[in-house]
Amino acid sequence: MSSPKLSPQPLTRRGALGRMGLGLGGVLGAGLAVLPEARLLAAQAGDFLTGPPVADVKPRQLSPHVWLLYAQDGFPTPENRGLMASMAFVVTSAGVVVLDTGASLQIGEMAIRMIRTVTPKPVIAVFNSHYHGDHWLGNHAFAQTFGADLPIHALPHTVAQIRGAEGSLWRSLMERWTNQATVGTEVVVPNREVTPGQRLRFGDVTLVMHHHGTAHTPSDLCVQVVEDGVTHVGDIAMTNRIANLDDGSYAGTFRYYAAMQALTGPQLWVPGHGEPARDLLDAYGRFLAGIWEPCVQAVKDGRDEAAAKAMVLRDPRVATRAKTMAGFDSNIGKYVSLAYLEAEKEAF
């Protein structure tokens, strides 16, 4: 990553106003007609109430049409300013199509800068893989740059979630997790609904919409770039971390993989977190099975959740990745619990 340099305290102008005893409310409440300098401060409010820019990430070409803005895997922090989900873009003869937009206005602005290093073509469409905010809060930057009518596509359930409580919740969470580095980001709801199996043509590129039930969430959209043999899978698979399954399903994930692979054949699978790989679904599926299958067996044997966890930790499909997987120690207990509860439901 290159400049601008990251700093832990993004809102320096607000801090300066605080030291002068002037918050924004104080400036506005003092009477703008009496204080000419307050007018200047108010005019600059958009500046000091917006978090700092995000460091550039050089685009990586994956195929003739597809490029990746790779985010180092991890979790949102003040240091990474929320940049922890990768974004992809497809350069077509008609313009650029963006697959996920990142976690903030500032990340979306960085993505636009980087797209312009590859092509002068405008962005003509955006696709949001699901409703978790690290994948769509950057919509704000694209709508601001390319117009409010820019087509932003998602599945209907994702649209409803972003329009509802999930939208404002994710914006607030991202601000908190990054020490306000993402402040200024607005919720921009997708304005086009897509359906499973739908084929959309953008110039010389065909995109196919995939959705095969609940996996990471009830509405995970995977976008296949037909001509390149590349499919963006969002968070249904990850290279080296456990996907959040609070809203998802282990059994549903396996069904999703099987259905999509049957329809697409071999692909380069591009996840939202981690490196693209041709064996991504198989490798990640084995890891998830190492959690799921012992839990299913424990339920069949009438054993409790603690016993199920011990079985999972002994499973070689899990044990071989325990030392290298991000957040493993702090998360494995939770995901065993989710698997055990789902196995109980499947059994009864």
pLDDT single digits (tens) 112-170: 999 999 999 999 999 999 999 999 999 999 999 999 999 999 999 999 999 999 999 99
Which spans in 119-249 are helix H?
139-146, 156-163, 165-177
Residue ranges of domains in the chain: 12-48, 60-278, 288-347
| CB 342, CB 249: distance < 8 Å | yes
Q: Can you say whether residue 266 is alpha, beta or left, with left for phi > 0 and alpha for psi between -120 and 50 degrees?
A: beta
Task: Indicate whether 317 pLDDT > 50.
Answer: yes
In the chain, the N- to C-terminal Cα span, in Å, equals 51
Q: Residue 328 burial by CB count (10 A; 0-12/13-18/19+): exposed, middle or buried?
A: middle
**What are residue 274's phi and psi, to 5 degrees?**
105, 180
The predicted pLDDT at position 232 comes to: 98
Residue 175: is its pLDDT beyond 60?
yes
Question: Which of 4-18, 38-52, 251-265 has the largest mean confidence?
Answer: 251-265
The pTM score is 0.86
Please write the tens of the pLDDT for every residue from 99-108. 999 999 999 9
pLDDT, tens only, 22-65: 333 333 333 334 444 544 554 455 545 789 999 999 999 999 99
- Which residues on adjacent β-strands are paired with residue 241? 326
Pick from 242-246, 274-278, 316-320: least confident: 242-246
Of 17-21, 126-130, 304-308, least confident by mean pLDDT is 17-21
For 203-248, what is each residue's pLDDT tens digit? 999 999 999 999 999 999 999 999 999 999 999 999 998 888 999 9
pLDDT for 14 equals 36
Q: Which two tokens stand for residue 236?
A: 């249904």
Assigned CATH topology for domain 60-278: Metallo-beta-lactamase; Chain A (3.60.15)
pLDDT in tens, 72-128: 877 899 999 999 999 999 999 999 999 999 999 999 999 999 999 999 999 999 999
- According to DSSP, the residues that pair with 126 across neighbouring strands are 98, 152
The pLDDT score that the predictor gives to residue 22 is: 34
Total residues found in the chain within this entry: 348
- Calculate the dihedral angle through the C-alpha atoms of 348, 342, 164, 234, rounding to the nearest 10 degrees: -140
How many beta carbons lie within 10 A of that of residue 312, not counting itself?
Answer: 24
- Quote the tokens at residue 298: 């424990």
Max Cα separation, the chain?
Answer: 78
The structure tokens listed for 178 are: 């990054």
